[in-house]
Amino acid sequence: MLEIAREAADPQVMLGHDRELSRHKSAKAATDAKLKAEEDALYLNQLLDLTPDQLAAINEKISALTPEQLRSLTAEQRARMKPELLAALYLRPGFLLRRAHHAEVFRTLARDVEGVLSVEQVADDLSALAEAVLHLTADWCWQRLKQRHREEPAFSILAYGKLGGKELGYGSDLDIVFVYDDDHPGASEIYATLVRKMINWLTVRTGEGDLYEIDTALRPNGNSGLLVTRFEAYANYQQGRGSNTAWTWEHQAITRARCVMGSPDLVRRFDEVRQAVMTAERDVAGLVTEIGAMRDKVRQAHPVKAGRFDVKHSPGGMVDAEFAVQYLVLLHTAEHPELADNVGNIALLQRAEKVGLLPAGVGEAAANAYREMRRVQHHARLNEEPTDVVPAALAAQRDAVLALWRLVMA
């Protein structure tokens, strides 16, 4: 008995007992969670057999309860209503949207792995899916916005970067800018609330997974600017009207931008602003200097390990090809209108060669190299691997892009 008492008084022994008890509790919690998940799955499988009318009736029943009423349900009441509560969960747009999104990505992935789709087709599918998700999210959030003052929002989503150029990859962020054209006195705050709600909806991680990371840094004045901008102010900023104007790198970005949601009038007005930016008169030497300086800045921000070739950031990588294309578009769209079309870097390189801006074979070789680097990047992301390789693996592609860069930026 004395020995037992000594052990009980020993802090280390007591700590050991506590840890053992904690382990038992954790194991029990894990077992309980597994049983609960299996039970929930059984209920959800039963729900799949219900007709749309039955599901709608269940949803109406649950929707009639306020959040306070749901929280005040007793354990017994919750147990009796479990099928209906799970049905409400299943019918929640966030639940359905994530399930549908993941299913569509998987379909694209399956065809990609089988070799059925080209790199361009994969990007088209993923970009179209992202656009559909943005439309559904904006509509759902607007319909449930307390400050909603009109049936349809006077609001647009401008896609930049990979989504803008229809070159989205697996796991890509969405670079987007939000603009509005509404004379309502509280319009600025109303649309800011809408955008915050949308971003939360798209980025929050739930049990069904996440959707997209959202990057709004390309809006006027970057992260120090307003989350949503009146369209007139956006147009003035891009076209250099007033003291607050866009930098050259922002004009580079607009070459890949497009309006993915908005009224026909706002789409037309955005296209006019983009066209004006791309056809503006440029100083050749100044453009070369500014794009080269931005390329150096991007490279310094993404150092590459010695003895490795990063498909995006190394000299001769994807960014070099993209910056070269943006230079050609900003400098030559006025005399070659076919460069204004937002058809992606591969097609634009081919068009630049076709109209004589690049020597025969240079544009096609760079386009093929860019396609292969994107393929490598896609597969690396799928396998959660780094996007750098041994230089010899992509030596021909690197040399093709370097030849393009030296020719264009000389």
Residue at 180: amino acid letter:
Y
Average confidence score pLDDT of the chain: 83
Q: pLDDT tens digits for 185-232? A: 999 999 999 999 999 989 988 777 789 999 999 999 998 899 999 999
Average pLDDT over residues 83-106: 68
Most confident segment among 8-12, 49-53, 107-111, 180-184? 180-184
Average pLDDT over residues 132-152: 92
- Per-residue pLDDT, 210: 81
- Per-residue pLDDT, 52: 52
Average pLDDT over residues 358-387: 93
Distances (CA, A) of 132 to 101, 110, 129, 211, 315: 9, 20, 5, 12, 35
- Per-residue pLDDT, 83: 54
Residue 167 pLDDT class (50, 70, 90 cuts)? very high
Whether the CB-CB separation of 253 and 325 falls below 8 Å is answered with no
**Alpha-carbon 322 to chain mean position:** 19
Task: Fill in the DSSP letter of residue 145.
Answer: -
Paired strand residues for 176? 159
**Close Cβ partners of 206 (under 8 Å, ≥ 6 residues apart):** 94, 95, 98
Structural domains in the chain, CATH included, are 34-91 (no CATH), 93-277 (3.30.460.10), 284-409 (1.20.120.330)
Q: pLDDT tens digits for 21-75? A: 444 445 445 545 544 444 444 444 444 444 556 555 655 555 555 556 655 656 6
Four-residue CA torsion sign, 123, 126, 132, 133? negative
Q: Check whether 314 has a pLDDT greater than 90.
A: yes
Average pLDDT over residues 323-344: 96
pLDDT over 90 percentage in the chain: 64
Four-residue CA torsion sign, 253, 329, 304, 299? negative
Distance CA 101, CA 248 (A): 36
Q: pLDDT tens digits for 246-267? A: 999 999 999 999 999 999 999 9
Q: How many CA atoms lie within 13 A of 19 on its CB side?
A: 6
- Per-residue pLDDT, 62: 54
Q: How many CA atoms lie within 13 A of 365 on its CB side?
A: 17
- Per-residue pLDDT, 171: 87
- Per-residue pLDDT, 196: 95
Whether the CB-CB separation of 377 and 318 falls below 8 Å is answered with yes
Q: Check whether 364 has a pLDDT greater than 90.
A: yes
Read off φ and ψ for residue 177, nearest 5 degrees: -125, 140
pLDDT over 70 percentage in the chain: 77
Q: Check whether 392 has a pLDDT greater than 70.
A: yes
Rg of the chain (C-alpha set): 27
Average pLDDT over residues 93-108: 81
- Per-residue pLDDT, 382: 84
